Amino acid sequence: MKLASLTVDGVRRAGVVQEAAQAIALLPPTVGTVDDIVRGGPTALDTARAALADADTIPLAGARLESPLHRFNRDILCTGWNYWDHFEESKGKREGQDPVTRPEHPTFFTKGPDTVIGPTDDISYDPDLSAKWDYEAEIALVIGRDGRSIPEEKALEHVFGYLVANDVSQRDLQRAHGGQWLKGKSIDATMPLGPWLTTADEIADPAGLRVQCEVNGRLLQNASSSDMAFSFAQIIAELSRGMTLRAGDVILTGTPSGIGSARDPQIFLGAGDVVVTRVSGLGELRNTVTRTRLT
């Protein structure tokens, strides 16, 4: 299923996107929100499927979709340098933060949940806060079952589903705070997420998804998830080693080459730019960079 979140008559509802009919089936309030379904396990998902039979539908075109998830257990968990072409393109451009060799394990960091916005919401932009706003198209996955020290061969059994994300980053802030990335990744209302949460059973091969980012109609990122340095299963296994992952945790899996800070000349986002982020089989985000006072 493709689970979407939207507000109807002042109440946040879960819906199921029916792309062929260009409609959304509104699940009854008793089913709960998308967050409730994720945390409710197989029983909640079965209940949502059963409710489709009597669900009212509304046109997809007229619906304002929100971020599918609103309730976060913790910071968004993120993976850096997870496409080798991206790792190589930024060599010598990380302002003294270059590792000597390719990492042997995934590189992890977090970003605050207040970064999350919906699939058509404005990306906040304040040039007084940062001069280097960069785009990063990514696949996000959502954990559907608690686990610690999850074996790689069982890791995908813990995935509830997948979404599209854009890890908009402020490169100067990312470099300015002792070499760690939290600050430059955690500015409010800067990370589009959605447009819906596609359950894992709908993705036959998560290693064959195409990841793209366009800015003002120009295709700047275009890669396959098969190009990842570390697979989805490896990320989950490494991250969960000694650390419990909970149902509802969101994990970003890295961005491919083509980022603005690695280009010559560099490309950074500015007010009015339209950023389109898409992943094959998972949908598309379309967000406008909008001047917002953040300081």
Q: Is the pLDDT of residue 100 over 80?
A: no
Report the C-alpha gap between 61 and 263 in whole angstroms.
Answer: 36
- Residue 98: what pLDDT? 64
How many C-beta neighbours within 10 Å does residue 179 have?
11
How many residues would you count in the chain? 295
pLDDT digits (tens, 9 = 90+) for 210-229: 999 999 999 999 999 999 99
Q: Is the pLDDT of residue 99 over 80?
A: no
- Residue 175: what pLDDT? 85
- Residue 92: what pLDDT? 62
- Residue 101: what pLDDT? 76
Q: How far is CA 67 from the centre of its chain?
A: 10
What confidence tier does 103 reach under pLDDT thresholds 50, 70, 90?
A: confident
Q: Is the pLDDT of residue 23 over 70?
A: yes
- Residue 185: what pLDDT? 97
Contact in structure between 226 and 187 (CB atoms under 8 Å): no
Q: Which of 51-60, 88-97, 202-211 has the weakest average pLDDT?
A: 88-97
User: What's the pTM?
Assistant: 0.96
What DSSP assignment string belongs to 188-236? TT-EEEEEEEEEGGG-S-GGG-EEEEEETTEEEEEEEGGGBSS-HHHHH
Q: Domain boundaries in the chain?
A: 2-59, 76-291
- Residue 97: what pLDDT? 63
Q: What is the mean pLDDT of the chain?
A: 95
Report the C-alpha gap between 12 and 94 in whole angstroms.
Answer: 42
Torsions phi, psi of 37, nearest 5? Answer: -65, -45
8-state DSSP, 290: E
**Could you give the percent of the chain with pLDDT greater than 70?**
97
Q: Is the pLDDT of residue 94 over 70?
A: no
Residue 215 identity (one-letter amino acid): V
**Could you give the percent of the chain with pLDDT greater than 90?**
90
Contact in structure between 77 and 110 (CB atoms under 8 Å): yes
Average pLDDT over residues 104-120: 97
What confidence tier does 75 reach under pLDDT thresholds 50, 70, 90?
A: very high
Residue 157: exposure state from Cβ atoms within 10 A (0-12, 13-18, ≥19): middle
Q: Is the pLDDT of residue 253 over 70?
A: yes
- Residue 84: what pLDDT? 87
Q: Is the pLDDT of residue 102 over 90?
A: no
Torsions phi, psi of 87, nearest 5? Answer: -60, -40
| CATH architecture of the domain with range 76-291 | Alpha-Beta Complex (3.90)
